[in-house]
Amino acid sequence: GAGVSQSPSNKVTEKGKDVELRCDPISGHTALYWYRQRLGQGLEFLIYFQGNSAPDKSGLPSDRFSAERTGESVSTLTIQRTQQEDSAVYLCASSLAPGTGGARQPQHFGDGTRLSIL
Amino acid sequence: AQSVAQPEDQVNVAEGNPLTVKCTYSVSGNPYLFWYVQYPNRGLQFLLKYITGDNLVKGSYGFEAEFNKSQTSFHLKKPSALVSDSALYFCAVRAPSNDYKLSFGAGTTVTVRA
């Protein structure tokens, strides 16, 4: 497909379990972002990847959250020992690299993973 | 620092009437401004952006927005709303010194009644 793909679209799990969310960006987009959207709230920045540079992890809310990206392809966001406050929609976005004019371009979003912690 | 405020949680209009969704921003330097729309159970879709040039920018689905530097605003407008415009709208800002991090408003829910 041509857009950002996220899986699973929905995930229900018990408190204390680990979850892994996947994002497949648009081909050619070297920049990749993860956001958290809590019900009735705006988007909360979590982490940013750009090519092979060190990621900006400044938005990760705790050490239970981590993310990986292999090269310029798929990224996974992992939440360990999930808590009820982790329930949210997790959105992934991608864009062109900032240095190539990407800073002036919009980010393209996937449909998100709706995570529910019981 | 950069931030966005969307002062209205909800906007309700009748179909065919003008629609305005308000956004004000705070940023150092000239801003890059974006509007996105989110339909239920979907990601954000890009509507339009202001980078430089004309203060009035036109975007998708008949939407437009006016950049007002003196009022630090970037209100989204549509002359004649449709029921299908009912959705959640987000304004976002990035300082030009910031390569990538967008700051989003809390969102405004638009309801267009038939």
Asked whether the beta carbons of B91 and B103 are under 8 A apart, the reply is no
Nearest CA in chain A to B39: A111
Please give the pLDDT value at position A70: 84
Distance from A106 to chain B by nearest Cα, in Å? 7
Q: Which residues, numbered 11 to 70 in chain A, qualify as contacts with chain B under a Cβ-Cβ cut-off of 8 Å?
A: 31, 33, 41-43, 45, 48, 50, 56
Give the pLDDT confidence of A99-114 residue by residue, as tens digits: 666 667 889 999 999 9
Residues of B in contact with A43 (CB under 8 A): 44, 90, 102, 104
Kindly tell me if the per-residue pLDDT of A1 is higher than 80.
Answer: no
CB atoms under 10 Å from CB of B66, counted, come to 16
Measured CA to CA in angstroms, residue A101 lies from A49, A59, A77, B64 at distances of: 16, 24, 27, 23
Q: Do A104 and B32 touch (CB under 8 A)?
A: yes
Query: Touching check for A88 and chain B: CB below 8 Å?
Result: no
Give the pLDDT confidence of A59-107 residue by residue, as tens digits: 999 999 999 998 888 999 999 999 999 999 999 999 988 766 666 788 9
Lowest-confidence pick of A32-41, A69-78, B96-105: B96-105
Asked whether the beta carbons of A116 and A12 are under 8 A apart, the reply is yes
Q: Where are the domains of chain B?
A: 2-113
Measured CA to CA in angstroms, residue A41 lies from A37, A44, A62 at distances of: 6, 9, 19
Buried b (16+ CB within 10 A) or exposed e, A7-29: eeeebebeeeeebebebbbbeeb
Measured CA to CA in angstroms, residue B14 lies from B11, B86, B87 at distances of: 10, 11, 14
Q: Does CATH place domain A5-112 in 2.60.40.10?
A: yes
Topology (CATH) of B2-113: Immunoglobulin-like (2.60.40)
Q: Do A103 and B49 touch (CB under 8 A)?
A: no
Distance from A51 to chain B by nearest Cα, in Å? 13
Q: Where are the domains of chain A?
A: 5-112
Please give the pLDDT value at position A100: 63
Closest CA to B39 of B111, B97, B100: B111
